[in-house]
Chain A
Amino acid sequence: KAGVTQTPRYLIKTRGQQVTLSCSPISGHRSVSWYQQTPGQGLQFLFEYFSETQRNKGNFPGRFSGRQFSNSRSEMNVSTLELGDSALYLCASSLDRIPNSPLHFGNGTRLTVT
């Protein structure tokens, strides 16, 4: 069974640009969560989608947005990029709710903002 797939693996963008990251969950999984990982702030929750609806949201500015498609694939978008947005963005999928359905993480997209 294929794991969580995130594309692209690496991205380099310039301040002020926008970026879209993609996540394909494990087949059958309906929940997709996004996390930002930085050396300074660690792993922080961005948002979670379930059956195309945002189920929860973290404390990030409105520049960070996401969506989920009918096939459970998800995208997150960051507009007006800032240097501080440089991070590893991780996607995690699960069948439904924890703890009955643990989160499975992808290997992330490394975003560098210059």
Chain B
Amino acid sequence: GENVEQHPSTLSVQEGDSAVIKCTYSDSASNYFPWYKQELGKGPQLIIDIRSNVGEKKDQRIAVTLNKTAKHFSLHITETQPEDSAVYFCAASNYEAAGNKLTFGGGTRVLVKP
């Protein structure tokens, strides 16, 4: 089955700096890659996603890039703010074969220092 590796496990950045989180996946058939943000005491919240036919997607300060050949994708957060502090999860899915099943990475705890 699919396996998703996520790095780093923790990331500390100064407010205003950029943060980058990287994920690799094993199943070349995976075609959907969402990113979730989880704050303390809450469930994961979708922040951005990308399909396999797209190389890059941007939404304000957040961007995701996908390299299908290398089977890795990354989350980029620019101009970080204290409210960006949370745990971030990447995930992968072959939605045509597995429906709504997501395979998650291990998570990255991001701390933005004011």
Query: Measuring CB to CB, which residues of chain A are less than 8 angstroms from any residue of chain B?
Result: 4, 31, 33, 35, 42-45, 48, 50, 55-56, 58-59, 90, 92, 94, 97-99, 102-108
B78 at the A interface (CB under 8 A): no
Q: Residues of A contacting B102 with CB < 8 Å?
A: 35, 43, 45, 98, 103
Q: Are A58 and B101 in contact (CB under 8 A)?
A: yes
Q: Are B95 and A107 in contact (CB under 8 A)?
A: no
Residue in contact with B44 in the complex, picked from A43, A97, A98, CB distance below 8 Å: A43
Query: With A98-B95, A99-B32, A106-B43 given, is the CB distance from A43 to B104 under 8 Å?
Result: yes
Residue in contact with B51 in the complex, picked from A31, A94, A99, A106, CB distance below 8 Å: A99
A98 to B97: give the CA distance in the assembly, Å. 11
Q: Size of chain B's interface in residues, with CB distance under 8 A?
A: 26
Q: Are A90 and B43 in contact (CB under 8 A)?
A: yes
Q: Residue on B with the closest CB to A103?
A: B100
A45 to B89: give the CA distance in the assembly, Å. 14
Known A98-B99, A99-B34, A104-B46; further 14 A-B contacts with Cβ < 8 A: A42-B89, A43-B102, A44-B104, A48-B100, A50-B99, A56-B100, A59-B1, A97-B95, A102-B34, A102-B46, A103-B102, A106-B43, A107-B43, A108-B43
Q: Residues of A contacting B98 with CB < 8 Å?
A: 56
A35 to B36: give the CA distance in the assembly, Å. 14
